[in-house]
Structure 1
Amino acid sequence: MTAAPPVSVCLPVYNGERYLEETLLSVREQTFGDLEIVLSDNASTDATTEICRSHAADDPRIRYVRHDVNRGGLWNFNDAMRRARGRTVKLAAADDVLRPRFLEACVDALEAGGPGVVLAYPRTQIIDGDGHVTEDLNDADLRGDRSTPHERIAEFLRAQAAHLVFGLYRADVLRTTRGLRPTIGNDVVILTEMACRGRFALVPEQLFLQRRHATQFSAQGARQVQFHAPGKDVRFDFPHARLAGELWSAVTTSRLPAGEAARSLAAVTTTWVVPRWRGVAGDVRRAVTGR
């Protein structure tokens, strides 16, 4: 087995033929080339398998795994993370695009920040299904480098900055988390755990193009629950209440000093749970009425 590379890009995919080619090329053409690509195919039934095999044949940095059963997007992400061998890990969606300097800039930011920086992320633009930029995220002043966990948590939860989940992590720190949890909003849950462990570094360049389109599995109402937790009964899953519980657990399982844990729990409550009380009420209504 070859030596572990500095960077692992974990790219799970299911029936991603429409955008996978562009996404893979954007990873393969990074200016930071010392990487592995963990390409995990969750029993796709379209042309995804052929695309994966073609790229794997062309690029020895790709470790292609095809699963015989679709166990859901959450399982596929966590499995790809377990297979990663790099000192740093980037999670990638099969429809997003990285500009060429994404990895180079994030690696530099982690090195410059030292071990206290556990996640580096660039500024982000939103693209549509045709690849056109539709929005510049207002993230130039997003301060993930604040000195205490509760300040960092309040900062990114207030900004609803879930896109940070696609930054570059220190692998040893990422492995101390519980991984992606079986609930909608598991991106903000794992970011909360990482914020309890260290600071985030902003790369001021717009190097990440996050695609938002009508057909993505993780953004289709009730199908969000099935994406993250296959087999769940959506009516009785209580997704918003579960997310609140997972966010609180992200703090309580992080072994913070008692005072900082209390302040971090308060930050979760005031910046996320209370402003979204209607979601919890909707969970109850759906369970009672079926609507």
Structure 2
Amino acid sequence: MSAASAPLVTVVALCYNHARFLEAALTSISAQTYSNLEVILVDDASTDDSPAILRRYAAAHPSWQLHLLPENVGNCRAFNHGFRQSKGEFLLDFATDDVLLPERISQQIRQFAQAGPRCGVVYSDAELIDEDGRHVRNHFRRDARGQLHPLPASGLVFTEVLARYFISTPTMTMRRAVLEELGGYDETLAYEDFDFWVRASRNWEFHLLPEVTTQKRLHPQSMSRKGYRPHDPYLASTIRVCRKALALCRTEQERAALAVRVRWELRQAIRYRNRPEARALYQLLRELRGVRPLDWLLALAR
């Protein structure tokens, strides 16, 4: 792909109190081998030194846009703010506690070209790192030959998305047309990825690039560490997305896949004594005609 024909890719870099990790994240944007980039920095009213670091990088890269939000609005609204300012044919939702490997965008744009116009999302493997940047593990398991095992779903993945988590969110690059069709992220939700996967995969293909393209940082403040705990702040949003998914299901196979997801969420809600959410999930499982004897017994004990 020549530089002249390379589509514009927008990196919406979202920051909230990422000062400790911010320089590594921003340097990884400037180190990309892909040149046709639009960079939009969005700070969600950080209370640490993040704004000062962002100003410094924006001054060093005059083409980068900097948006310092006056109040904390959450990830969905912050991303939509950047999305509305963007022009790229493809977009990355990049949390600035993570790191992009240098070939990330080049590799994924080549994958879009190979997959064709119905490919709405390319996702990849990720290296999970700790707060100090040390390797923890990869997102996907590999066999003795280094091959992904089992091979993650690729193509029309709606049924797989309903049943289980398998996509590493920070590795996704999204086609602009998908986000426009969906109206961006749902700003009424506490988090974005499950809802995006469900709504986008109904009509668009997701394709796997089986390479490590991103370092995802694990630390106590990351969103992934707050779920499935007492008073889970994201569980109410998960229930709402499951109801959206039910409305999108067309076959019994899809409904059965959603029942697998709802059953898992129900058991986590019961385990951590999130009682109102457990009742709502049990009712949804009944609507899916997916209640099993153990589900009924657990619901009695909640």
> Residue in 2 aligned with 1:92?
94
> Residue in 1 aligned with 2:293?
none
Is 1:174 the counterpart of 2:179? The answer is yes
> Residue in 2 aligned with 1:39?
41
Query: In the superposition, relative to structure 1, how do residues 165 and 271 fare at CA in structure 2: closer, same or farther (>3 Å)?
Result: farther
- What is the rounded CA distance, in whole Å, between the counterparts of 1:48 and 1:15 in structure 2? 6
Structure-to-structure mapping, 1:154-169, within 5 angstroms = 154-164=159-169, 166-169=171-174
Bigger CA drift: 157-166 or 62-71? 157-166
Query: In the superposition, relative to structure 1, how do residues 251 and 195 fare at CA in structure 2: closer, same or farther (>3 Å)?
Result: farther
> Residue in 1 aligned with 2:144?
none
> Residue in 2 aligned with 1:26?
28
Give, as a single letter, the amino acid of the residue that structure 2 aligns with 1:95: D
> Residue in 2 aligned with 1:247?
242
Is 1:143 the counterpart of 2:153? The answer is yes
Query: In the superposition, relative to structure 1, how do residues 251 and 158 fare at CA in structure 2: closer, same or farther (>3 Å)?
Result: closer
- What is the rounded CA distance, in whole Å, between the counterparts of 1:168 and 1:13 in structure 2? 18
Give, as a single letter, the amino acid of the residue that structure 1 aligns with 2:185: L
CA RMSD of aligned residues (A): 3.0
Query: In the superposition, relative to structure 1, how do residues 72 and 218 fare at CA in structure 2: closer, same or farther (>3 Å)?
Result: farther
Structure-to-structure mapping, 1:168-207, within 5 angstroms = 168-181=173-186, 182-184=188-190, 186-207=192-213
Query: For the pair shown, which has the larger CA radius of gyration, 1 or 2?
Result: 2
Superposition TM-score, scaled by structure 2 size: 0.77
Query: In the superposition, relative to structure 1, how do residues 240 and 62 fare at CA in structure 2: closer, same or farther (>3 Å)?
Result: same
Query: In the superposition, relative to structure 1, how do residues 172 and 251 fare at CA in structure 2: closer, same or farther (>3 Å)?
Result: farther
Query: In the superposition, relative to structure 1, how do residues 117 and 251 fare at CA in structure 2: closer, same or farther (>3 Å)?
Result: farther
Is 1:261 the counterpart of 2:250? The answer is yes
Query: In the superposition, relative to structure 1, how do residues 121 and 136 fare at CA in structure 2: closer, same or farther (>3 Å)?
Result: same
Structure-to-structure mapping, 1:124-139, within 5 angstroms = 124-138=126-140
Per-residue CA deviation, residues 24-73 of structure 1 (Å, 9 max, x unaligned), is 11111111021111101122222111111111111133111111222233
Q: Secondary structure at the match of 1:161?
A: coil
- What is the rounded CA distance, in whole Å, between the counterparts of 1:285 and 1:195 in structure 2? 29
Is 1:122 the counterpart of 2:124? The answer is yes
Give, as a single letter, the amino acid of the residue that structure 1 aligns with 2:175: R
In percent, how many aligned pairs have the same letter?
25
How many residues were matched structurally? 264
Q: Secondary structure at the match of 2:41?
A: strand
- What is the rounded CA distance, in whole Å, between the counterparts of 1:99 and 1:279 in structure 2? 34
Query: In the superposition, relative to structure 1, how do residues 247 and 121 fare at CA in structure 2: closer, same or farther (>3 Å)?
Result: same
Query: In the superposition, relative to structure 1, how do residues 265 and 280 fare at CA in structure 2: closer, same or farther (>3 Å)?
Result: farther
- What is the rounded CA distance, in whole Å, between the counterparts of 1:195 and 1:165 in structure 2? 17
Q: Secondary structure at the match of 1:38?
A: strand
Structure 2: which 5+ runs fail to align? Answer: 1-5, 142-147, 280-302
> Residue in 2 aligned with 1:283?
274
- What is the rounded CA distance, in whole Å, between the counterparts of 2:125 and 2:277 in structure 1? 37
Query: In the superposition, relative to structure 1, how do residues 220 and 48 fare at CA in structure 2: closer, same or farther (>3 Å)?
Result: same
The offset of 1:265, in angstroms, is: 4.7
Superposition TM-score, scaled by structure 1 size: 0.80
> Residue in 1 aligned with 2:282?
none
Q: Secondary structure at the match of 1:201?
A: strand
The offset of 1:274, in angstroms, is: 1.8
Structure 1: which 5+ runs fail to align? Answer: 147-151, 226-233, 254-259
- What is the rounded CA distance, in whole Å, between the counterparts of 1:9 and 1:263 in structure 2? 38
Per-residue CA deviation, residues 48-105 of structure 1 (Å, 9 max, x unaligned), is 1111111111113311111122223332122222222100111111101111010001
After the TM superposition, which parts of structure 1 deviate over 6 Å for at least 4 consecutive aligned residues? none
CA contact (8 A) 2:124 2:210 kept: yes
CA contact (8 A) 1:116 1:198 kept: yes
CA contact (8 A) 1:248 1:265 kept: no
